[in-house]
Chains A and B, each alone.
Chain A
Amino acid sequence: MTEERRRNYIIVGGMIFSAWLAFVGGREREMRRVGNIRSVADSSEKNGSVSPTSLQLTFDATNIADAAFADLYEQLRFSSRETRLAMRERIVAMPEGPAKEAARFTYNKLMVQIAPADSANAMLEIPNDGETLHTIVAAAPQSAMEALAPMVLKLPNTGDASLSRGLAFGDVMEKWSRVDPEAAAAFLENNYDESDFPAYAETVVQNWAAVDPAEAREWIGKLDPSRAYDLKAALLDGWFERDRAAAMDYAVAHAGDEDSWSANRYFADTIFCESPEEARAFINRLPPDQQQAVVEEIASVVRGDGNPAPRDLAKWLMQFPPKLWEKPISHAVIDWQDEDPAEFFSWAARLPAETQDKIAVAFADRYDPKPEDIEKYISIAATAPDPQLREKLIYQLVGRYGSMLKEKRQLLEQLPISPAEQHALQTLIPK
């Protein structure tokens, strides 16, 4: 071999060796970048400890809340279980405060996406921590529901844990049944006793009917009648979301069924919250004996945040024949008078005499009042600017609660009404 040829071999060999080193270097760098830390964790484990400080991550457990999701996810998605546990231990050891809470939320949300089975198992360690259970379920991907549902049912059903368990299971069923109602329903059926079936079947049926009313109905039809009890309202509510007209037609067509009485009452609430006009049309199609119950239900239940103002409820009720509204309207009338007496009095003053009489009766329909309450209501009625309305309101109160006013006759003398009317009122108070 000539000197020159030998030199060429050395050069080529050196180049190949350098290329191999470059290849390994590039591979190692990339592996390290994506968080290939399994070997580190394994070696730590062999040494008998999992030291969080040995994690070769570009962030620390204490500041994971600030990390960009892509970095965090890329680094942890293929990490070992030991690495994740070490991270959790590090978070648990952090001093109490906002930073720890942020790390805890981040960790729980992330882990159920990376390793749902591990998160499901971890739930068993925190039966009383309703907040963390909720965080895990809310962040979980759909595919995790099948693993989470049985795990939640393994949580203890006693004391405070019972509440956490119930709420977490409700979260699971809500999310699961939205996107896979059939599987959620089957799970409920197969775990009838442990799952408190009646409490969650409504959620499942409602979500199912919102996407496939026919299948939801079929499932209810196959259930033992004792299990299907009270699911009709949920079916109608969900169905209404998908096809309003079809749901209402079905409710009307089955108004004679045994379970329709209560179902239609709840269903009417749902319709009313969406569209008072449609609710009115629906009620008008029901048999007369159900109309009264449905109107009463709406008048007593539909109150509070996000619902129609009392004035609107009162006006809506009065679109029906008086026999349907004259009793239930008292809720709306009393709330309206509480909220805005001037507006209420002005509206009532403009009503026809006969209608005004009924409103005065509703105004006086108070539940179990004390004498001082009656005194207060009379003082409020006395502020009505319209003399005719004022007299009617006071008459109704004194007529109904006169027996409570025996010691307060002098109150009537101070009212802004004529002496003749005062005398007439005195006769309403028993001696």
Chain B
Amino acid sequence: MKATQPIASRFNRRTARIALAGCAVVLLLGSYEAGRQTALIQRARPTIRLSERASQTLSPTKFGSASDTHENIRLENLGRISFGELYDLIHSASPEQRSSWAKQLESLTGGPRKLAATEAFFKVLIQLDANAAVQLVAEITDRRARRVAIDAVLGAFREADIAIVAEMIIRLHATSDPKTRLSSIAREWLQIDPAAAVKFMERHRDQLANDDLYSFMWDWSIIDPAAAHSWFEHQDRAQQTDNVIRGVVLGWYQRDPAAAVEFAVAHLDLKGVRGVIGEIANGIVRDTSEQPVDFINEMPTLARNALIDAVIQSTKVREPSNSPSDVARWLVALPNSIWTGRVAELLTTWERKDGPAVLSWIDELPMEKRAQLLTEHSPAGEGISPERIFELAVEIPDHKMREAALQKFSERLGPTREEALKSLQKLSLSVAQKHYVRSFLKFK
């Protein structure tokens, strides 16, 4: 018996040491985990407080507190809680739970709360799981809620997910939401990954609305005119459509106006280019104060003439961007050499609409402008006194210009010699003056 005692004691001591070591390991691991959990609770505390406050003010049931389960959530309140709370909630939910919430959101009664909740939900989800978000957006049948969800997606997506969002746009544009446009993200995409954006545009070109294609080219030309221009030149003729060239030119114009107009003039053979030049010209007329005259002066003659012709033609539509009077005032303010030979048609359009205004404007022009203008065009028509035009013509100090102005004046008296003479007779001019005017009547 005595011999076995120390052996048992030694055995018990060893067991106790092993147990003690085990306890120490467990204690260390437990302490480590407890430390982690303390940090997590500390981090979550502000969120929990906010949740509790939100649930107290919004509904009698608890919302979002740590003790809540996902099933107890009142979805209509999602729009009223902080982004952080919502993030915690959606981040911790399973994909199935998120999908279930999306469906529950749709079944809510229509109203601002539903829309707010929908927007808030998708704004978080698109950043956590873009694929799931775009899939769930497409499944929303309530049009207004879908619109809100789409805007949430378009506003908050991660840059890395932009291609997923673009695919969603194409899909929705072709199906339920034709007004959804790639243009809402194109500019952003062209800035963060131009190669991918262009490739996407090329792949989906046929599915894009005309204004979307225009908008894409416009954005691209502002961001990188050289690349957009080069791309355009490499397209087949059939692909160089109105919208494409319009976007290239007008976007480029924002960066380098002279180069853009020259480019347009070099492509006058393409359909729609004249219209684009007209748009630019009308913009210039509108923003005269911001467009120094030097820009027009320094343009190559061909481009400048195309620009001026375009702006004059654009005054002849039903609702012109600029009235003939605005264009005339703008044009004649430029150096005479620029508008010589190009003003008659414009003044004819204006005098048909408001003869007296033309006359009073000419009256107020400085002699140097007025003389040049009257050699180009002699106003006539309702409200325009021919006697006054005659007076203005004979007042011109330069002999040659005066005769040229009187020549124009006599040409407006009538289409045939007989009709011109008859008109001349009716004018309140002296006999000598009539004789003088008659000397300018030249008919074949």
Determine if A305 and B211 form an interchain contact, defined as CB atoms under 8 angstroms apart.
Answer: yes
Chain B residue total in the interface (Cβ 8 A): 60
Residues on B with C-beta less than 8 A from A245 are none
Chain B contact residues, majority secondary structure: helix
Determine if A78 and B32 form an interchain contact, defined as CB atoms under 8 angstroms apart.
Answer: no
Residue B111 at the chain A interface, CB threshold 8 Å: yes
Least distance between B85 CB and chain A CB atoms (Å): 11
Determine if B192 and A102 form an interchain contact, defined as CB atoms under 8 angstroms apart.
Answer: yes
Minimal Cβ-Cβ distance residue in A for B87: A73
- Residue of B30, B39, B209 with most chain A CB atoms under a 10 A cut-off: B39
Determine if A241 and B178 form an interchain contact, defined as CB atoms under 8 angstroms apart.
Answer: no
Residue A421 at the chain B interface, CB threshold 8 Å: no
Name which of B94-102, B155-163, B395-403, B436-444 contacts chain A. Answer: B155-163
Residue B309 at the chain A interface, CB threshold 8 Å: no
Residue A419 at the chain B interface, CB threshold 8 Å: no
Determine if B159 and A65 form an interchain contact, defined as CB atoms under 8 angstroms apart.
Answer: yes
Determine if B33 and A178 form an interchain contact, defined as CB atoms under 8 angstroms apart.
Answer: no
A residues 126-149 touching B (CB-CB < 8 Å): 131, 135, 137-143
Chain A contact residues, majority secondary structure: helix
Determine if B35 and A211 form an interchain contact, defined as CB atoms under 8 angstroms apart.
Answer: no
Determine if A181 and B112 form an interchain contact, defined as CB atoms under 8 angstroms apart.
Answer: yes
Residue A50 at the chain B interface, CB threshold 8 Å: no
Known contacts A11-B20, A178-B112: A142-B79 contact under CB 8 Å: yes
Residue from B33, B83, B317 within 8 A of A367 (CB atoms): B317
Minimal Cβ-Cβ distance residue in A for B192: A102
- Residue of B113, B127, B144, B158 with most chain A CB atoms under a 10 A cut-off: B158
Determine if B128 and A34 form an interchain contact, defined as CB atoms under 8 angstroms apart.
Answer: no
Known contacts A70-B128, A105-B159: A34-B39 contact under CB 8 Å: yes
Residue A242 at the chain B interface, CB threshold 8 Å: yes
Task: Report the bound CA distance from A304 to B209 in whole Å.
Answer: 10
- Residue of A21, A27, A106, A304 with most chain B CB atoms under a 10 A cut-off: A27
Determine if A178 and B148 form an interchain contact, defined as CB atoms under 8 angstroms apart.
Answer: yes
Residues on A with C-beta less than 8 A from B151 are 138, 175
Name which of A12-20, A318-326, A351-359, A379-387 contacts chain B. Answer: A12-20
Residue B356 at the chain A interface, CB threshold 8 Å: no
A residues 3-43 touching B (CB-CB < 8 Å): 11, 15, 18-31, 34, 36
Determine if A65 and B160 form an interchain contact, defined as CB atoms under 8 angstroms apart.
Answer: yes
Minimal Cβ-Cβ distance residue in A for B84: A77
Task: Report the bound CA distance from A306 to B156 in whole Å.
Answer: 27
Minimal Cβ-Cβ distance residue in A for B173: A306
Known contacts A66-B160, A179-B115: A19-B144 contact under CB 8 Å: no
Minimal Cβ-Cβ distance residue in B for A368: B316
Residue B43 at the chain A interface, CB threshold 8 Å: yes
Task: Report the bound CA distance from A22 to B188 in whole Å.
Answer: 48
Determine if B35 and A22 form an interchain contact, defined as CB atoms under 8 angstroms apart.
Answer: yes
Determine if A367 and B35 form an interchain contact, defined as CB atoms under 8 angstroms apart.
Answer: no
Task: Report the bound CA distance from A210 to B112 in whole Å.
Answer: 9
Residue from A15, A29, A66, A78 within 8 A of B24 (CB atoms): A15
Determine if B27 and A19 form an interchain contact, defined as CB atoms under 8 angstroms apart.
Answer: yes
Residue B29 at the chain A interface, CB threshold 8 Å: yes
Task: Report the bound CA distance from A249 to B377 in whole Å.
Answer: 58
Minimal Cβ-Cβ distance residue in A for B126: A69
Residue B274 at the chain A interface, CB threshold 8 Å: no
Residue A297 at the chain B interface, CB threshold 8 Å: no
Task: Report the bound CA distance from A175 to B116 in whole Å.
Answer: 9
Residues on B with C-beta less than 8 A from A88 are none
Residue B119 at the chain A interface, CB threshold 8 Å: yes
Residues on B with C-beta less than 8 A from A26 are 31-36, 39
Residue from A22, A142, A179, A181 within 8 A of B28 (CB atoms): A22
Least distance between A400 CB and chain B CB atoms (Å): 16
Determine if B35 and A98 form an interchain contact, defined as CB atoms under 8 angstroms apart.
Answer: no
Least distance between B38 CB and chain A CB atoms (Å): 5
Least distance between B112 CB and chain A CB atoms (Å): 5
Residues on B with C-beta less than 8 A from A135 are 188
Residues on B with C-beta less than 8 A from A90 are none
Residue A44 at the chain B interface, CB threshold 8 Å: no
Chain A residue total in the interface (Cβ 8 A): 58
Minimal Cβ-Cβ distance residue in B for A66: B160
Determine if B43 and A211 form an interchain contact, defined as CB atoms under 8 angstroms apart.
Answer: no
B residues 1-58 touching A (CB-CB < 8 Å): 20, 23-24, 27-36, 38-40, 43
Contact with A along B187-227 (1 / 0, CB 8 A): 11001111000000000000001110000000000000000
Contact with B along A96-113 (1 / 0, CB 8 A): 001001100110010001
Determine if A19 and B39 form an interchain contact, defined as CB atoms under 8 angstroms apart.
Answer: no
Residue A296 at the chain B interface, CB threshold 8 Å: no
Least distance between A101 CB and chain B CB atoms (Å): 4
Task: Report the bound CA distance from A101 to B316 in whole Å.
Answer: 44
Known contacts A28-B35, A69-B128, A106-B158: A142-B116 contact under CB 8 Å: yes
Residue B82 at the chain A interface, CB threshold 8 Å: yes
Task: Report the bound CA distance from A178 to B316 in whole Å.
Answer: 42
Determine if B82 and A143 form an interchain contact, defined as CB atoms under 8 angstroms apart.
Answer: yes
Residue A212 at the chain B interface, CB threshold 8 Å: yes
Residue B170 at the chain A interface, CB threshold 8 Å: no
Task: Report the bound CA distance from A312 to B33 in whole Å.
Answer: 71
Residue A259 at the chain B interface, CB threshold 8 Å: no
Residue B154 at the chain A interface, CB threshold 8 Å: yes
Residue B237 at the chain A interface, CB threshold 8 Å: no
Residues on A with C-beta less than 8 A from B318 are 367-368
A residues 117-167 touching B (CB-CB < 8 Å): 131, 135, 137-143
Residue B120 at the chain A interface, CB threshold 8 Å: yes
Known contacts A65-B158, A181-B112: A23-B34 contact under CB 8 Å: yes
Residue A189 at the chain B interface, CB threshold 8 Å: no
Residues on B with C-beta less than 8 A from A22 are 27-29, 31-32, 35
Residues on B with C-beta less than 8 A from A27 are 35-36, 38-39
Least distance between B342 CB and chain A CB atoms (Å): 15
Residues on B with C-beta less than 8 A from A36 are 39
Known contacts A19-B27, A30-B40: A180-B112 contact under CB 8 Å: yes
Residue from B127, B144, B188 within 8 A of A105 (CB atoms): B188
Residue B408 at the chain A interface, CB threshold 8 Å: no
Minimal Cβ-Cβ distance residue in B for A30: B39
Residue B179 at the chain A interface, CB threshold 8 Å: yes
Task: Report the bound CA distance from A101 to B34 in whole Å.
Answer: 42
Task: Report the bound CA distance from A314 to B135 in whole Å.
Answer: 39
Determine if B194 and A98 form an interchain contact, defined as CB atoms under 8 angstroms apart.
Answer: yes
Q: What are 21 residue pairs bridging A and B, where the CB atoms are less than 8 Å apart in the complex?
A: A15-B27, A18-B31, A19-B27, A19-B31, A20-B31, A22-B28, A26-B33, A34-B43, A98-B191, A106-B159, A113-B83, A113-B156, A178-B119, A179-B148, A180-B112, A211-B144, A212-B112, A241-B143, A306-B209, A368-B318, A370-B316
A30-B40, A143-B80, A175-B119 provided; 11 other pairs, C-beta below 8 A?
A23-B38, A29-B35, A36-B39, A78-B43, A102-B192, A105-B159, A105-B188, A106-B159, A114-B83, A179-B148, A306-B179
Question: Which 3 A/B pairs are nearest by Cβ-Cβ distance?
Answer: A26-B35, A138-B155, A27-B35
Which chain B residues have a beta carbon within 8 Å of chain A's beta carbons?
20, 23-24, 27-36, 38-40, 43, 79-80, 82-84, 87, 91, 110-113, 115-116, 119-120, 123, 127-128, 143-144, 148, 151, 154-156, 158-160, 178-179, 187-188, 191-194, 209-211, 316-318, 349
Which chain A residues have a beta carbon within 8 Å of chain B's beta carbons?
11, 15, 18-31, 34, 36, 65-66, 69-70, 73, 77-78, 98, 101-102, 105-106, 109, 113-114, 131, 135, 137-143, 175, 178-181, 210-212, 241-242, 304-306, 367-368, 370
